[in-house]
Amino acid sequence: RKESSAASDVYKRQDQHYDPKYKIIINGHSLGGSLGLIFGARLKIEEGFKNIEVTTFGQPRVGNETFIDSVEKHFGDDYRRVVNDLDIVPKLPPVTKFKYSHSDKLFLIEESGKVYKADSSAMYIHQMKELMLEVADAISKGEEDAFQRKLKENLKESASDHAIDNYIKYLQLSLRNLK
């Protein structure tokens, strides 16, 4: 198996430098989140590293249900994924076509800065509810093309919500709300 130089370097040096009393923390956004999860799983499950924590932001689906079950079994609460409001990337690739899966170790960030633990179905219900409320409001105002227009707006917002700057902005807002 061909590996990236960073991964190979970690594997080669683990005997010299790895001390299980120190936690290895892996974070990533988008594709970096997927790679971080795969890398963390490799270290923990295949290489036997003990003290690893993985947090992903806007991570697309990676692996099938067997992989995700193994991640949840080995990581427990040391793996979590964070999704910003309507971010579209965590919905990719489509489940129906590729059989990729997500862990339910999910924290959803709302535009208000509220962060809460959710499962994947709750995230999709939240997102559909937002869209339907906007469509209903537009229709009640007599806007005939409301559904199509709101769908386009929702798609733009979904892409915007994926930006790491917006993750940072809403997490900072969440921290200010805690004070």
Question: In the chain, pLDDT over 70 holds for what percent of residues?
Answer: 85
For 90-138, the pLDDT digits (tens) are 888 877 767 888 887 889 888 888 888 887 676 667 767 777 777 777 7
Residues 64-94 have pLDDT tens digits of: 889 999 999 999 999 999 999 888 898 888 7
Reported as type and span, the H/E element at residue 65 is helix 65-75
> What does the pLDDT look like over 25-36, one tens digit per residue?
999 999 999 999
Written as one letter, the residue type at 157 is: E
Q: 40 and 52 in contact (C-beta within 8 Å)?
A: yes
Q: What is the DSSP string of 102-170?
A: --S-EEEEPTTS-EEEE-HHHHHHHHHHHHHHHHHHHHHTT-TTHHHHHHHHHHHHHHHHTSHHHHHHH
Rounded CA gap, 134 and 28, in Å?
32
pLDDT score of 15: 59
Asked if the model's pLDDT at residue 40 lies above 70, the reply is yes
User: What confidence tens digit (pLDDT) does each residue in 165-175 have?
Assistant: 999 998 988 88
Neighbour count for residue 98 (Cβ, 10 Å):
11
153 vs 174, residue with greater confidence: 174
Amino acid in position 46: E
At 12 the pLDDT is 66
147: Cα separation from own chain's centroid: 27
Instruction: Give residue 119's pLDDT.
Output: 74
- Which of 95 and 54 is assigned the larger pLDDT? 54
* Cross-strand bridge partners of residue 52: 24
Report the pLDDT value the prediction gives residue 71, as an integer from 0 to 100: 95
